[in-house]
Structure 1
Amino acid sequence: MRKQPKNNIAPDAIKAWRITASIFMVILWLIIIAGIVVSVIFHFPIIYSGIGAVIGLVCIYVFVFLIPKLRYKRWRYEIFEQEIYIQHGILIVTRTIIPMIRVQHVDTEQGPILKKYNLATVSISTAATTHEIPALLEEDASQLRDRISTLARVDEDDV
Structure 2
Amino acid sequence: MARFEDVDPTPTPTLREPGQRVSPRARLMWQISNLVEGVVSVAILGAAAAVWDAVDLTWWMATIGLLAVAVYVGVVPQWRYLVHRWEVTETAVYTQTGWWARERRIAPMSRIQTVDYAESPVARLFGLATVTVTTASAAGALQIAGLDRLRARELVDELTLRADAVEGDAT
Q: Using structure 1 for the length normalisation, give the TM-score.
A: 0.88
In the alignment, which of 108, 126, 130 is matched to residue 135 of structure 2? Answer: 126
Higher helix residue share: 1
SS at match of 2:99: coil
1:17-52 Cα offsets, whole Å, 9 max, x none, are 111111211211221331342144xxx1212x2342
Q: Trace 1:131-150 onto structure 2 (pairs within 5 A).
A: 131-150=142-161
Pairing 1:52–2:65 present: no
| 2:133 aligned partner, one-letter code | I
Give, in angstroms, the shift of residue 2 of structure 1: 5.4
Q: What is the aligned partner in structure 2 of residue 62 from structure 1? A: 71
Residue ranges of structure 2 left out of the alignment (5+ in a row): 1-13
Q: 1 CA distance for matches of 2:29 and 2:164?
A: 32
Q: What is the aligned partner in structure 2 of residue 90 from structure 1? A: 99
1:110-133 Cα offsets, whole Å, 9 max, x none, are 011100011000011112321100
SS at match of 2:167: helix
Q: What is the aligned partner in structure 2 of residue 21 from structure 1? A: 34
Give, in angstroms, the shift of residue 54 of structure 1: 3.0
Residue ranges of structure 1 left out of the alignment (5+ in a row): none
1:88-130 Cα offsets, whole Å, 9 max, x none, are 2223322111111110010110011100011000011112321
Q: 2 CA distance for matches of 1:30 and 1:69?
A: 25
| 1:14 aligned partner, one-letter code | R
The 10-residue stretch of structure 1 (51-60 or 137-146) with the greater mean CA deviation from structure 2 = 51-60
SS at match of 1:50: helix
Pairing 1:115–2:124 present: yes
CA root-mean-square deviation: 2.0
Equivalences, count: 155
Q: What is the aligned partner in structure 2 of residue 11 from structure 1? A: 24
